[in-house]
Structure 1
Amino acid sequence: MLVLSRKKDESIMIGDQIELKILSVEGDQVKLGIIAPKNVKVYRSEVYLSIQEQNKESLNISPELIKKISKKNI
């Protein structure tokens, strides 16, 4: 893990196209601005983990249901 210190209005570059900018620091909360290309998806970690869990659950479809769905689409 890389650990960097930044102050308000300073930023960190990730590669050539992603910039993390420190917008404000209030107590123990830091507000970040993320500048990235539109094709780069940016999520809070708890949202990302929820999406991953939902994707895993969607893979647990019974073979019978898959057969029913595929017969309807033929």
Structure 2
Amino acid sequence: MLILTRKIDEAIRLGDDIRIVLVQIKGGQVRLGIECPSHVRVLREELYEAVRQENLNAVSSDPKHLAHLPRQKKPQAKPTE
């Protein structure tokens, strides 16, 4: 882990197009500003972990919970001429 010291209004760059600015220090919290392209997803870690856990839960669902879903027939192979 890289640890840096910054003062208010000082920034950190990640690559060419991500900029993180220390905006405010108040009590035991800091406020960060993040400038990045719109395709870069920025999440607080606790939200990221919650989404990740939900995705893991969805993938590892018990098959018996899916029993109520209708079954699809496999498509029949068409004979070639």
TM-score, normalised by the number of residues in structure 1: 0.84
Q: Answer with 1 or 2: which has the greater Rg.
A: 2
- Which 4+ runs in 1 deviate beyond 3 A? none
Task: List runs of 5+ in structure 1 lacking aligned partners.
Answer: none
Alignment match, 2:20: 20
Task: List runs of 5+ in structure 2 lacking aligned partners.
Answer: 76-81
Distance 1:60 1:41, change over 3 A: same
In structure 2, distance between residues paired with 1:38 and 1:53: 24
Aligned runs of 1:1-74 on 2, under 5 Å?
1-61=1-61, 62=63, 65=66, 68=69, 71=72
Distance 1:70 1:32, change over 3 A: farther
Q: CA RMSD in A?
A: 2.3
State, as a whole percentage, how many aligned pairs show the same letter.
35
Identify the structure with the greater helix proportion.
1
TM-score, normalised by the number of residues in structure 2: 0.77
